[in-house]
Amino acid sequence: MQARLSVDAYVEGILSGNRLILSRAITLIESQLPSDRILAQRVLEQILPHTGSAIRVGITGVPGVGKSTFIEAFGKTLTADGKKTAVLAIDPTSQRSKGSIMGDKTRMEELAHDPMAYIRPSPSGGSLGGVANKTRETLLLCEAAGFEIILVETMGVGQSETVVKGMVDFFLLLMLAGAGDELQGIKKGIMEMADAVVITKADGHNQSAAQRAVIEYQNAFHLFPPNENGWFPPVLTCSALEKRGLYEIWNQILQFDSQSKASGFHVKNRRQQNLEWMHSLIRQTLEEQFYSHQAITQQLHEVELMVQNEKWLPMRAATFLMDIFRS
């Protein structure tokens, strides 16, 4: 294992924008070692005053929508505009090896070589819907390192969107043309969370279908209650291949950011997200303590068999184990 740096060395390296030390700091916060957790918390506490100024954008979409292609093209648009951009691309994790299945630096090769960009592929560790356990902490480290835009990519459409929505300012949903069919398979909740919908691959023969999709999604949004911040989600089209529509998406994000800050929603939302993060960590810590409890590990398999064989109700089993945990 690579030797750990001192707290001051991590902090100075991050604040100076040193990519190598930033990567080492992210590896530190992803570590499960108790000593590393203590060190990581001290580093995060030191860099906290230097965080919070970036625009945080969550990006999700249906399979086949071309998320990586879009993010690379969009990221290049941002860096060309002089914006230091970090991409937190969450890889699915192999349940056997616990390692990353995909490599985002391979999927976004051009952006990976951009000196204004930083890509961090992180294994999800089997956490909910492919959102890495330490994404929030990684986001803070990237902000402290001077990145102005943080793009958080999720793998697929599912429960993970709720988690991502709780850590970003702007939530972007990517869709394909053929909205009428797509709408049937999209959960209403995901649509309600979106701050904008972008119809991708709007080029060639797909352009007319993309325009029809825009109308269908706009009509769908009119059925939803207004957002708390008074923002009405726009429906846009883009072609990552032809580099069209990308600046329009960025301008919408800037408008949203300006409106949210002017109304006070930005601060209110960030504060609520911090509370949700705290409660999430409490649940995570309790679960870790429960399953690592010596008496629980000794009894768990036998209790699971009782439930599987329908000798005990799950409620009785849970109460039994909780009583052991509390004793």
Q: Where are the domains of the chain?
A: 1-50, 52-263, 276-326
Q: How far apart are CA 47 and CA 51, in angstroms?
A: 7
pLDDT given for residue 188 in this prediction? 66
Greatest mean pLDDT range, 158-167, 210-219, 263-272: 263-272
Strand partners, 149: 55, 85
What are the distances in angstroms from CA 53 to CA 2, 145, 232, 233?
Answer: 31, 11, 24, 23
Instruction: Please name which of 184, 142, 324, 171 lies closest in space to residue 249, comparing C-alpha atoms.
Output: 171
Q: How far apart are CA 89 and CA 105, in angstroms?
A: 9
pLDDT at 243 over 50: yes
pLDDT given for residue 162 in this prediction? 77
Torsion of CA 81, 140, 71, 66, to 10 degrees: -170
Look at the pTM and tell me if it is higher than 0.85: yes
pLDDT given for residue 147 in this prediction? 98
Q: How far apart are CA 86 and CA 26, in angstroms?
A: 13
Assign 102 a pLDDT band (cuts: 50, 70, 90).
very low
Q: How far apart are CA 66 and CA 286, in angstroms?
A: 38
Q: How far apart are CA 269 and CA 165, in angstroms?
A: 10
pLDDT at 106 over 60: no
Q: Which CATH architecture has domain 1-50?
A: Up-down Bundle (1.20)
Q: Which CATH architecture has domain 52-263?
A: 3-Layer(aba) Sandwich (3.40)
Q: How far apart are CA 142 and CA 148, in angstroms?
A: 9
pLDDT given for residue 134 in this prediction? 85
> Cβ-count burial of 105 within 10 angstroms (0-12 exposed, 13-18 middle, 19+ buried)?
middle
Instruction: Write the single-letter amino acid at 121.
Output: P
Assign 123 a pLDDT band (cuts: 50, 70, 90).
low
Task: Tell which phi-psi region holds residue 264, choosing left (phi > 0), alpha (psi between -120 and 50) or beta.
Answer: left
pLDDT at 314 over 50: yes
pLDDT at 59 over 80: yes
DSSP state of 231: P
